[in-house]
Amino acid sequence: MALDEPRDTDNVYDVHGFQFIMDQDFYEKAKPVKVDFLGYGFKISSSINFGPTCSSCGTTDSCCG
C-alpha cells in the first residue's frame, strides 16, 4: 500500500473517507481484496498466495533465514 494518484487504468473506491486506488488488471488477478484497519495499520488480504512469510519481517525474502 502506498500513496498514489489515480490513473486511467485504475479503479477508485471511496470507503469511510479513505480513497483506495487499484490497477484494474491487478485487481482482476487479486480479487477479492479486503483491507482492514487494525488500529496500528492496515492488513490487506487477497486471493494471491505469496507463500510462507517471515514472522519477524512479514516478507518471503532472506530475512527468514
**Domain hosting residue 34, numbered range:** 7-49
Determine the 3-state secondary structure of 26 from DSSP. helix
Q: Confirm whether 64 is domain-assigned.
A: no
pTM score, whole prediction: 0.61
Burial of 22 (0-12, 13-18, 19+ CB in 10 A): buried
pLDDT digits (tens, 9 = 90+) for 8-37: 999 999 988 888 999 999 999 999 999 888
Q: Confirm whether 59 is domain-assigned.
A: no
Q: Confirm whether 24 is domain-assigned.
A: yes
Outline where DSSP puts E strands in the chain.
Answer: 10-15, 18-23, 34-37, 42-45
61: left (phi over 0), alpha (psi -120 to 50) or beta: beta
pLDDT digits (tens, 9 = 90+) for 33-65: 998 888 888 888 899 887 776 655 655 555 555
